[in-house]
Chain A
Amino acid sequence: MSTVAPARRARRRQLDSSVIVGIALVAVIVVGAILVSTVGRNFFSPGNIRDILTGMSVLGFVAIGQTLVVLCASLDLSVPYVISLASLIGADLMAGNPANIPFAVLVVLVVAGAIGLANGLIVTKLKVNGFIATLGTGLIIKGYLDTNYKGTSGEVPYEFQLIGATGIGPVPVSTIIMLAVALLAAFFLARTRTGHHMFAVGGSDQVSRLSGLRTARPVIIAHVLCSISAALAGLLLASRLGVGSPTVGTQGGYDLLSIAAVVLGGTLLMGGRGSIWGTIGGVAIFAVMDSVMSVMQVNPFLKDVVRGVVIVAAVAIYTSRTVERRRPRFGPGGSVSEAGSKPIGDLAATKEGAVR
C-alpha cells in the first residue's frame, strides 16, 4: 500500500519496512505510556493525544516533502527558510482580512514552488549536489529574510487561525490536513508515472536514463513539491502564531529533523527506496518522544541528547535489518530481478553511508 512495487515480492518487503517503523512506534508509545504513568499522568488522555498530533502536523508537512526529495537521492536543507518565508508572506498578505486568505495562500504556494523549481533546476541542470544547492538557496532566502524583516510581521485573520486551533474531537484539523497531504503524496508515489520515476531516478540515475527516462523531471518535481509542503508548514505555523516570523523555521530545526524523520521512516538516504507512511511513522515517533519528555519535565537540553541517541539507535536497528535482508540478492542464489530499478544504487549502498 505504501509505495511502488516493481515486483510482488518487493511489495511484501516494502510493507515490511513500514511494519518495522510501526513496531518501533508502538514500542515508543508503550514505553512512553509506562513512563508517563510513573509520574501519575495518563498518556492516552484526549489532551495528551491532541498535543502529540499537533506536534506531528508541522514536522509532518515538511517530512512528506522531504521524503520525495530524499527518494530522488537529493536533499532539501532550505526548508526552514522556506517555512519562515511562507509564514511571513502569508501573514503579510492576509493582513487580518479573511477575504485575502485564498490569494495569500496562492501566492505563498507559487513562491514556494518557484523556490523548489530553482532548487530542482540547480540540482539537475547545473549538477550541483542537492546538499550544497539547497544549502545555498537556503542562505539566499535567509539573506532576504534578514534584510527585509526585523521581527514578526503581518496579521493572520481569526478564520485562518482556526485551522491551527480547532479540532474534531481530539484530532486537530491541521493533523487531518497533514494526513490528507500524506495520502495524496502516497497516492502520487504509488499510482502516477512521475511517482514511479522518482523511485527509478533515486535508485539509479544512470539506469533510469539508459531506460529512457527524462531523469531531470522527477527530481525537479520532487523539489517543487517539497518546497510547497514546507510552505504549507509555514502557513500552519503562521496560523498558530497569528503572525509571520522570520525565525520560526530555523528555531524548529526542521531541515535536519525532517531528514532524520525520513530516515527513521525507513527511506534510504541515497534514494530509491522508502515510503510516505514510514515517514509519518518517524514523525510520530518524534512527536511521542517529545510529548513524553515534556510531560516528564525533562531538562530541555537533555531532550536533545535523548533525541540524538534515539535517532541513531532507531536507524541502527533499522539498517541492520535491511542490510541482512538485502544481501542475499547479490550472492549466488540471489534474485537480481527484485532489485528492480537500482542494482547500482545498492552497490552504492554498500559503498558509503551518506548521500552522494
Chain B
Amino acid sequence: MTTVSQAPPTTGDRLAAFARNLISPRGAVFLLLVVLLIAITVYNPSFAEPSQFIRFVQRVAPIAIVAIGQYFVIVGGEFDLSMGSLVTAQVVIAGNLIGQDDAKSIPVLLLMLVFGAFIGLINGLIVTFLKVPSFIVTLGMMLALLGGVLYWTGGAATGNPADSFREIGRGGIRDLPIIEILPWSVVVLVVVLVLAIWFSRRPFGRMIVAVGDNATTAAYGGARIWWVKSSAFIISSLSATVAGVLLVGYAGVHPSVGRGYEFIAITAVVLGGVVLGGGRGWVVAAAAGAFALEALFTLLNFAGVPSTYRDAVQGAIIILAVAYAATTFRARRKGHALEAPATHASPDAPPTSPEASQTSPEANQTSPAPRAKEPDATASARPAPIPSTQRADNETKGGL
C-alpha cells in the first residue's frame, strides 16, 4: 500500500495510475473479484470453461440486478430494506396469477412491473414527504409485504407459473458455439447493467448522486428532491421485480425465495465501494460487488468449507473490505494520496490524469477542489460550498 503511494506520479505513468485505481476502494472490488475467480479456477479448473462460467453468471444475475437497484437508493442517501420481501411478493404473484395459462404471462408481467413501481413510489413518497427515515419506511414495507403475501397465500405459496414464463429465468439461447447456452438471465443482466450505466451518466442519474451527497445543496441547485429520491426507490423496486421474474424460473415459487436479498444487495453494493449515506459510488462496482460475493460463496463451496462457516467468512470479508475502503479514504484525506481523487461517483473521470494524482494534500482535505472539475449536473448542484458543513460532511462520508 505504501510502496504504491510513494511511486512517483510525475510522468503520466498509466500503469501506476491503473494500479492505484485497482487498490482504491472503487477498484478494489474488481481486484477481489479477479482473485476470487482465479482461486476458484485453481480449486476447480473446469470453472474456467465458458459453459461453466456462463452458468455462474446466470446464478449471479438476480443478485447483481438487485444490487444495481439498491445502488441507486444507497447512492441517493437512503436504504431499501424492502427489496427481499418485494422479490418474494413478485415471485408469489407470478406463481399464483399466471398459473398454467401461457396467455396470462404478459399481462401479469405488466402487473408485476406496475406493482413494483407502485411499491417504490410509496416508499419514496413516505420518505420524502413524511420525513420518515428510509430505514424505517422500508422496514415497515418489508414486514407488510411479506405478511401480506403470506396472508394471501395462507403461508404456503404453491403452483409454479407456466413454463413459458419460467423460461426467462432458466432457459436461454441454445446450441451456441463455445458457451453452449446463453441464458436469458444473462441477457437481462447485461441489458439492466447497460441501462443502469447509461442512466447513471444522464443528468438525472448524476442528480441522484448529488442529492445523496448533500440534499440541501442539491435543492439549492434546483433538484426536486422528492422526485429524485422517489425515482431511486422506483428503480430499486423495479430491479427487485426483474430479479423476482428471473428467480421464478430459476428457483420456483416459495415464500423463502428472496429472503435476505436486501442484506445481500446492501453488502454487494458496499463491497463495490459505494458509501452508505450516499454521494459516492459507481454502479458497475456495485454489480461487481454482487459477483464478488457470489464468487466468494462458490469458492467456499469448492474449498470444502463447511456450509455453516460460510456466514462467518462472509461477515469477516465484508468487515475487512469496508474497513479497507474506509481507511483508504482516511489516508487520502490526511494527504497520503493513495489514489487520484477520482474516487467520487463520476464514472467517466479519467483514472490516469497525471495532474489529478499530483493534487496537493490541502486540496485532498477539502474535496470541493477536485470535485469542481466534475461536469454538468453535479457541479451545478453544488453552488457555493458552505465551508463547515461541507468539510464535516466529507469527513463523515470518508470515515464511513
Could you say which of A10-18, A109-117, A138-146, A233-241 contacts chain B?
A: A138-146
CB distance from A311 to the nearest CB of B (A): 4
B281 within 8 A of A: no
Q: Choose one: A259, A260, A308, A356; the contact of B277 (CB below 8 Å).
A: A356
- CB-CB < 8 A to B145: which residues of A? 308
Q: Choose one: A260, A299, A308, A356; the contact of B396 (CB below 8 Å).
A: A356
Contact present for B308 and A147 (CB under 8 Å): yes
Q: How many residues of B contact A (CB 8 A)?
A: 66
B42 within 8 A of A: no
B392 within 8 A of A: yes
Could you say which of B62-70, B104-112, B148-156, B353-361 contacts chain A?
A: B148-156
Nearest A residue to B215 by beta-carbon distance? A351
Q: Choose one: A141, A146, A312, A351; the contact of B137 (CB below 8 Å).
A: A312
B276 within 8 A of A: yes
Contact present for B147 and A301 (CB under 8 Å): yes
In the bound complex, CA of A299 to CA of B81 (Å): 24
In the bound complex, CA of A95 to CA of B278 (Å): 49
B314 within 8 A of A: yes
CB distance from A336 to the nearest CB of B (A): 12
In the bound complex, CA of A270 to CA of B329 (Å): 21
Q: Choose one: B139, B267, B306, B400; the contact of A256 (CB below 8 Å).
A: B139
Q: Choose one: A129, A143, A351; the contact of B77 (CB below 8 Å).
A: A351
Contact present for A135 and B130 (CB under 8 Å): no
Mask, B158-178, CB within 8 Å of A = 1, is 000000000000000000000
Mask, A115-157, CB within 8 Å of B = 1, is 0000000100011110111011111111110110000000000
CB distance from A9 to the nearest CB of B (A): 22
CB distance from A268 to the nearest CB of B (A): 8
Q: Choose one: A146, A308, A319; the contact of B140 (CB below 8 Å).
A: A308
**Which residues of chain B from 305 to 359 have a CB within 8 Å of any chain A CB?**
306, 308-316, 318-319, 322-323, 326-327, 329-330
Decide yes or no: A315 and B136 within 8 Å by CB, A129-B322, A139-B315 being known contacts. Answer: yes
Chain A residues touching B, range: 35 or more
Q: Choose one: A127, A143, A204; the contact of B400 (CB below 8 Å).
A: A127
Contact present for A136 and B77 (CB under 8 Å): no
In the bound complex, CA of A354 to CA of B9 (Å): 39
Decide yes or no: A352 and B78 within 8 Å by CB, A126-B323, A135-B267, A146-B311 being known contacts. Answer: yes
Contact present for B144 and A309 (CB under 8 Å): yes
Contact present for A135 and B315 (CB under 8 Å): yes
6 pairs of A and B residues whose beta carbons are closest in the complex: A143-B312, A304-B147, A139-B315, A308-B143, A308-B144, A146-B308
Taking Cβ atoms with an 8 Å cutoff, the residues of B that contact A are 77-79, 81, 126-127, 130-137, 139-148, 150-151, 155, 212, 214-216, 263, 266-267, 270, 276-278, 306, 308-316, 318-319, 322-323, 326-327, 329-330, 388-389, 391-393, 395-397, 399-400
Q: List 26 A-B contacts (CB under 8 A).
A: A126-B327, A127-B323, A132-B267, A140-B315, A140-B316, A141-B312, A206-B391, A299-B151, A301-B155, A304-B144, A308-B140, A309-B144, A311-B143, A312-B141, A315-B132, A315-B136, A316-B132, A319-B133, A347-B216, A351-B216, A352-B78, A353-B132, A354-B79, A354-B134, A354-B135, A356-B276
